[in-house]
Structure 1
Amino acid sequence: MSLDFIGKYNSWERVDPAELFSATTEKKEATPKLRMPEFLASEAVGCDYLVLWLDCDKEGENICFEVLAAVQSSMSRPPPDRQTIFRARFSAITDRDIRAAMSSLVEPDENAARSVDARQELDLRVGCAFTRFQTRLFQGKYGDLDSTLISYGPCQTPTLGFCVERHDQIQSFQPEQYWKLALTCDLDGGQQIDFEWARVRCFDKEVASMFLNQIKDIKSTVVDSVVSKEKTKARPQALNTVELMRVASSGLNMSPHYAMQIAERLYTQGYISYPRTETTQYPENFDLLGAVRQQRDSAVWGEQVRALLEAGLRLPRRGVDAGDHPPITPMRLASRHALDDDSWRIYDYVVRHFIATVHRDCSYLSTTVTVRLGGQQFTATGTRLLDAGFTELMDWLAVGRAEPLPQLAPADLLNVSAVALTDHYTSPPGYLTEAELITLMEKHGIGTDASIPVHINNIGLRNYVTVETGRRLVPTTLGNTLVHGYQKIDPDLVLPTMRSAVEQQLNLIALGKADFHSVLTHTLNIFKQKFHFFVKNISYMDQLFEDSFSPLASSGKPLSRCGRCRRYMRLVESRPQRLHCQQCGHTLALPADGLVRVYNESKCPLDEFELVVWSGGKKGRSFVLCPYCYNHPPFPDMGKGSGCNSCSHPSCRHGVSQTGVSACSCCERGVLTLDPSSAPRWKLVCNRCDVVVSAFDQASLVAVMPDVCEQCGAYLVRVEYRPEKSRLPNRAAQLTGCAFCTAGLTQLVQLKHAQRSGGRPRGGQRGRGRGGGPDQPRRDKMAELAAFFM
Structure 2
Amino acid sequence: MHLFCYLNVIKTSVRILCTNQAKPIMKYLNVAEKNDAAKNIAALLSRGASTRREGLSNYNKIYEFDTTIFGQPARMVMTSVSGHLLNYEFVTTYRAWQSCHPVALFDAPVVKQCPANYDNIKRTLEREIRQCQGLIIWTDCDREGENIGFEVIKVCTDIKPNIPVYRAKFSEITAASVFRALNTLGQPNKNISDAVDVRQELDLRTGAAFTRLQTLRFQKVFPDKLSDKLISYGSCQFPTLGFVVERYNAIEEFVPEDFWRIKMNHTMKDLTVDFNWKRDRLFDKNACEAILDICQENPQATVEEVESKSKSKWRPLPLDTVELEKTASRKLRINAKDTMKIAEKLYTQGLISYPRTETNIFPRELNLVPLVEQQTVDNRWGPFAQRVLNEGGPNPRQGRKSDQAHPPIHPTKYANNLNGNEQRIYEYIVRHFLACVSKDAMGHETVVHVDIADEKFLAKGLFILERNYLDVYTYDRWNAKEIHEYRVGETFMPSNLSLAESTTSPPKLLTEADLIALMEKYGIGTDATHAEHIETIKTREYVGLHENIYFVPGTLGMGLVEGYNRIGLEVSLAKPNLRADFEKDLKLICDGHKNPETVRREQIEKYRAVFGIVTERILEIDDSLGNRLEDRPRPLENEAIPQDDFRPVMKCPKCNGDLVIRNRKTGTGKYLSCTSYPQCKNAIWLPVSIDTIEVLEESCNICGPTVKKLRVKFKHNPFLGEPNPNTICIGGCDNIVLDTLNISASSVRGANRTNAPSTNRAPTNNRNVAPNQSTLNNWVTGSNRTNSSSQPSTSTRQATSNDTRDDANASLSYSNAPTFPMPAQTARPTQTVRPSNPGTSNSRPRSFLDAPTPRGQQGDVANGPNANVCSCNQEATLLTVRKEGPNKGRQFYACPNRSCNYFAWASESEPNAMRQNAAPHANAVRQNGAPTIGGLKCDCNLDAAERIVSKDGPNKGRRFFCCPKPMGEGCRFFKWADDVNGTNGNDNGHDPYNGPGGAPNTSWNSGGGGGGGGNWRKKNTNWKSKKKTKSTGTLKPYNKNATQRKPKTCGICRQEGHIRTNCPNQRN
TM-score (norm 1): 0.66
Q: 1:27 aligns with which of 106, 112, 125?
A: 112
Q: CA deviation at 1:234?
A: 1.5
Alignment partners' CA distance in 1, 2:103 and 2:593: 30
Q: Which residue in the other structure is 1:171 paired with? A: 252
- Structure 1 pair 226–357 and aligned structure 2 pair: CA distance change class (3 A): same
Q: The residue matched to 2:221 in structure 1 has which SS? A: coil
Could you tell me which amino acid in structure 1 is paired with residue 431 of structure 2? R
Match of 1:379 among 458, 463, 481: 458
C-alpha separation in 2, matches of 1:584 and 1:527: 25
The match for 2:378 is 298
Tell me what 1:113 maps to. Answer: 193
Contact 1:553-1:582 within 8 A present in 2 as well: no
Equivalent residue in structure 1 for 2:496, among 389, 410, 418: 418
Deviations 1:549-579 (A, max 9, x none): 255999xxxxxxxxxxxxxxxxxxxxxxxxx
Query: Is the counterpart of residue 480 in structure 1 residue 558 in structure 2?
Result: yes
Residues 346/111 of structure 1: CA separation in 2 closer, same or farther (3 Å cut) = closer
Q: Secondary structure at the match of 1:416?
A: coil
Residues 104, 259 of structure 1: CA spacing in aligned structure 2 closer, same or farther, 3 A cutoff?
Answer: closer
Cα 1:378–1:146 shift into 2, 3 Å: farther
Corresponding residue of 1:273: 353
Q: 1:388 Cα deviation (Å)?
A: 0.5
* Aligned-partner Cα distance in 1 for 2:252–2:330: 24
CA gap 1:132/1:446 in 2 versus in 1, 3 angstroms: same
Specify every segment of 5 or more residues in structure 1 that has no aligned partner in the other structure, as ranges: 555-580, 586-605, 608-635, 637-790
Distance 1:281 1:30, change over 3 A: farther
CA shift for structure 1 position 303: 2.9
Offset at residue 165 of structure 1 (A): 1.1
Displacement after TM superposition at 1:53 (Å):
3.6
Q: Which amino acid aligns with 2:91?
A: I
Contact 2:220 2:227 in 1 (8 A): no
1:249 to 329, 334, 339: 329
Tell me, in whole angstroms, the C-alpha distance in 2 between the residues paired with 1:73 and 1:30. Answer: 17
Question: Which residue in 2 is equivalent to 1:347?
Answer: 426
The structure where helix makes up a greater share of residues is 1
The separation in 2 between residues aligned to 1:373 and 1:465, in whole angstroms, is: 52
TM-score, with structure 2 as normaliser: 0.49
Identity percentage of aligned residues = 37
Residue 159 of structure 1 pairs with residue 237 of structure 2: no
Equivalent residue in structure 1 for 2:150, among 65, 69, 74? 65
Give 1:200 deviation, angstroms.
0.8
Label 1:206 to 1:4 Cα distance change in 2 as closer, same or farther (>3 A).
Answer: same
Distance 1:21 1:108 in 2: 30
- The answer on whether the counterparts of 1:62 and 1:116 sit within 8 Å (CA) in structure 2 is yes
- Partner residue of 1:234? 314
CA distance in 2, matches of 1:138, 1:536: 15
Corresponding residue for residue 324 of structure 1: 405
Distance in 2 between residues matched to 1:333 and 1:298, nearest whole Å: 8
Which one of 624, 647, 651 corresponds to residue 544 of structure 1? 624
Identify the match of residue 74 of structure 1 among 118, 141, 159: 159
Cα distance in 2, alignment partners of residues 512 and 582 from structure 1? 48
* Cα deviation, residue 42, structure 1: 2.1
Matches within 5 A, 1:17-56: 17-29=102-114, 32-33=117-118, 35-56=120-141
After superposition, what is the alpha-carbon deviation per residue over 1:651-689, rounded to whole angstroms, capped at 9, x for unaligned?
A: xxxxxxxxxxxxxxxxxxxxxxxxxxxxxxxxxxxxxxx
Per-residue deviation at 1:372?
Answer: 0.5
For the 8 Å contact 1:239–1:353, the answer to whether it is kept is yes
Displacement after TM superposition at 1:541 (Å)? 0.6
Q: Deviations over 1:380-435 (max 9, x none)?
A: 11111111010111234231x24311222222332222211111111111111111
- Provide the rounded CA distance (Å) in 2 between the counterparts of 1:152 and 1:582: 22
**Residue in structure 2 matched with residue 468 of structure 1 by the alignment:** 546
1:212, 1:421 within 8 Å by CA — same for their partners in 2?
Answer: yes
**1:362 has 2:447 as partner:** no
In structure 2, do the counterparts of structure 1 residues 376 and 553 end up closer, same or farther at CA, with 3 Å as the change threshold? closer
Classify 1:227/1:3 alpha carbon distance in 2 versus 1 (closer, same or farther; 3 Å): same
The 3-state SS of whatever aligns with 1:173 is: coil
Query: Are the aligned partners of 1:145 and 1:549 in contact in 2 as well (CA < 8 Å)?
Result: no
RMSD value over aligned CA atoms?
Answer: 2.8
1:78-127 residue CA offsets vs partner (Å, 9 max, x unmatched) = 33x8xx33434444556666566556554433233222211111110001
8 A Cα contact 1:228 1:366, kept in partner: yes
C-alpha distance in 2 between matches for 1:120 and 1:273: 27
1:752-771 CA-partner distances (Å, limit 9, x unpaired) = xxxxxxxxxxxxxxxxxxxx
Partner of 1:504: 584
Shift of 1:268: 3.4
Paired residues of 1:140 and 1:552 also in contact (CA < 8 A) = no
Pair 340,552 (structure 1): closer, same or farther in 2 beyond 3 Å: farther
Q: Give the counterpart letter for 1:61 in structure 2.
A: E
Report matched runs for 1:584-733 at 5 Å: none
Residue 515 of structure 1, CA deviation: 3.4
Contact persistence 2:559–2:627 (CA under 8 A): no
Tell whether the 8 Å contact from 1:144 to 1:550 is kept in structure 2 after alignment. Answer: no
Distance 1:551 1:413, change over 3 A: closer
Which residue pairs with 1:217 in the alignment?
A: 297
Q: Distance in 2 between matches of 1:314 and 1:10?
A: 56
Question: 1: distance between equivalents of 2:632 and 2:584?
Answer: 43
Which amino acid in structure 2 is aligned with residue 199 of structure 1? Answer: R
**Higher RCO by CA contacts (8 Å cutoff, separation 6 or greater):** 1
Deviation at 1:239, TM superposition (A): 1.0
- The equivalent residue for 2:221 is 141
2:395 is the alignment partner of 1:315: yes
CA distance in 1, matches of 2:528, 2:631: 39
Q: In the alignment, is residue 11 of structure 1 matched against residue 91 of structure 2?
A: no
Asked whether the equivalents of residues 464 and 480 of structure 2 are also in contact (C-alpha less than 8 Å), the reply is no
Q: C-alpha offsets along residues 715-739 of structure 1, whole Å, 9 cap, x if unaligned? A: xxxxxxxxxxxxxxxxxxxxxxxxx
Matches within 5 A, 1:716-755: none
Asked if structure 2 preserves the Cα contact closer than 8 Å seen for 1:222 and 1:414, the reply is yes
Distance 1:434 1:318 in 2: 26
What CA distance in whole angstroms lies between the structure 2 residues aligned with 1:37 and 1:50?
15
Q: How does 1:388-467 map to 2 (within 5 A)?
A: 388-399=467-478, 401-467=479-545
Partner amino acid for 1:171?
E
Contact 1:292/1:305, CA 8 A, preserved across alignment: yes
> Shift in Å at residue 367 of structure 1?
0.9
Gaps of 5+ in 2: 1-85, 640-664, 667-677, 679-1068
Match of 1:194 in 2: 274
Q: Secondary structure at the match of 1:292?
A: helix
What letter matches 1:6 in structure 2?
Answer: V
> Structure 1: how far apart are the matches of 2:215 and 2:444?
60
Pairing 1:127–2:207 present: yes
Q: Tell me the amino acid that sits aligned with residue 262 of structure 1.
A: I
Distance 2:521 2:311 in 1: 29
Q: Secondary structure of the equivalent of 1:295?
A: helix
Do the aligned residues in 1 keep the contact of 2:237 with 2:537 (CA within 8 Å)? yes
Q: Is the contact between residue 319 and residue 432 of structure 2 (CA under 8 Å) also seen in structure 1? A: yes
Shift of 1:55: 3.3
User: Which of the two has higher C-alpha Rg?
Assistant: 2
Corresponding position of 1:87: 167
Displacement, 1:472?
1.6
